[in-house]
Amino acid sequence: MSCSHATTTTVAWLYGEAPDAHALHVAGCPDCAAVADDHAGVVGALGPALGALRDAAEAPAREPVPRRSRWAIAGFGLAVAAAAALAVSTRAIPPTVPSGATAAPTIAAIDTFDAALDDLDLDVATLEQELQ
């Protein structure tokens, strides 16, 4: 953004902390008008749910799921997949199975776990909001 007011005076003005006269500048400045649009748009999208953010602001911050736990789960999945891969490799492999088949399920398992954890986080957040 080239306008020096875009992330300072204009933001202050949007929340009633700069002179009303700044409105004329905002109306004529593409950068500042875009800032106004973004801020009003966020507020508009939240609508009546904006107040729910207040509870989070006042309550102790929820501890995020430690990355260590995620890796522990993924590691368990990796161990299971590796054990399965080992079991497959010790049996007679039919000539039709491709040579890279034992590696693919392991990587796919980790990706699947991570994606599932991300989806679960969003679901939990949605449920928490509904329960409040």
Partner 1 sequence: MTVRNTREIADVASSSLDRRIASLGTELLGFLRRRTVDPEEVAQETWIRVAAADPDCPDDRSFRAFVYVVARRLLIDAARRRARARPLVPLDGGQHPSDDAPPDAALSAGQSLAVVERTLREMKPELAEVFRWRMTTDLSFKQIAERQGVSLNTALGRHHQATNHIARALREHGLWTE
Measured from the CB atom, the residue of 92 and 131 that comes closer to partner 1 is 131
Binding site for partner 1 (CB under 8 A): 6-8, 11-17, 20-21, 23-24, 26-28, 33, 35-57, 61-62, 64, 121-122, 125-126, 129-132
**At closest approach, how far in Å is the CB of 57 from partner 1?**
4
Measured from the CB atom, the residue of 46 and 104 that comes closer to partner 1 is 46
**At closest approach, how far in Å is the CB of 125 from partner 1?**
5
Q: Closest Cα to residue 32, out of 18, 47, 53, 46?
A: 18
Count the helix, strand and coil residues of the chain and give each as a percent rounded to the nearest 5.
Answer: 70, 0, 30
Cβ proximity of 5 and 34 under 8 Å: no
Measured from the CB atom, the residue of 83 and 115 that comes closer to partner 1 is 115
**Amino acid identity for residue 20 in this structure:** D
**At closest approach, how far in Å is the CB of 68 from partner 1?**
17
d(CA 49, CA 19): 29
